[in-house]
Amino acid sequence: MGKLIDPDRTRRARQARDERAAAILAAAHQTFVRFPYAEATMERIGRQAGVKQGQATLAYRSREELFLAVVIAQLGAWYDALASELGAGAGELSAEETAGRVARGLAARPDLTRLLGSLHTALELHEDGLEVHRFYRWQRERLLALAETVAGRVPGADRWDAFDALYRAQLTAAAVHPVSRPVGNLAVDLMAEDHQVFALDLEDEVERVVLHTLSGPKGR
């Protein structure tokens, strides 16, 4: 009697699923940063990934779940880089230097800042409240760990000052990105001399917010 389960066939099937999921995630990244959130459909992502119709939803149940997977990968990479940079070396860091490092790190990640602009929309549309809760818990834990590092290096800053500063940095980047990196009609409008007053620099704005939060008056 032959084997009921072929281990090699099972391994190949699992490898094919993993490769398909990775291709879908990569395609989703490119789609979410190129198109407005409303136009970043699972069908479009599936075509970009080169998978058969409907296979994208086999790997990820919804666009919102897929979007969160992309955001977590991007945010996690930034958190890791920032933790390494802020934790390196010995001695104190000034609030100014810390704010500059946070701002430069975000400004150097345009894909992340674009994604942050759609994050709250995706969370509101997500039908799985437990997944939303898990995302917020993951983000809080990562930010608190970073805040501990900042509080240990910046004189006078406690962990909640630092947590607030880091979270405000994300919110500021999400809000400023469309104006600092405009596309379409907005880009044309901002080229007009009369509208230059509305131009914003993402790095400058994030740095200003972080510095104010770390060194501004307490009791905010």
Question: How confident is the chain (220 residues) per 10-residue block, as mean pLDDT?
Answer: 63 70 91 92 88 74 93 97 88 93 95 94 92 96 96 92 96 86 53 56 94 72
CATH classification code of 63-215: 1.10.357.10
CB atoms inside a 10 Å sphere around CB 66: 26
Q: Dihedral of CA 157/163/168/174: which sign?
A: positive
Q: Which of 183, 181, 176, 164 is nearest to 206 (CA)?
A: 176
If phi > 0 it is left, if psi is from -120 to 50 it is alpha, else beta; for residue 200 that is beta
- Asked whether 179 and 200 are in contact (CB, 8 A), the reply is yes
CB atoms inside a 10 Å sphere around CB 211: 20
- Distance CA(109)–CA(205), nearest Å, equals 15
Chain centre to alpha carbon of residue 167? 12
Query: Where are the chain's structural domains?
Result: 1-60, 63-215
Query: Residues 129-156, buried b or exposed e (16+ Cβ, 10 A)?
Result: eebbeebeeebeebbeebbebbbebbee
**Any idea how long the chain is?**
220
CA distances from 199 to 88, 107, 196 (A): 34, 15, 5
**pLDDT of the residue at 52:** 74
CB atoms inside a 10 Å sphere around CB 182: 17
- Asked whether 126 and 62 are in contact (CB, 8 A), the reply is yes
One-letter amino acid at 210 equals V
| H-state helical runs in the chain | 7-34, 42-49, 55-59, 63-87, 95-107, 110-125, 129-153, 159-180, 184-191, 202-215
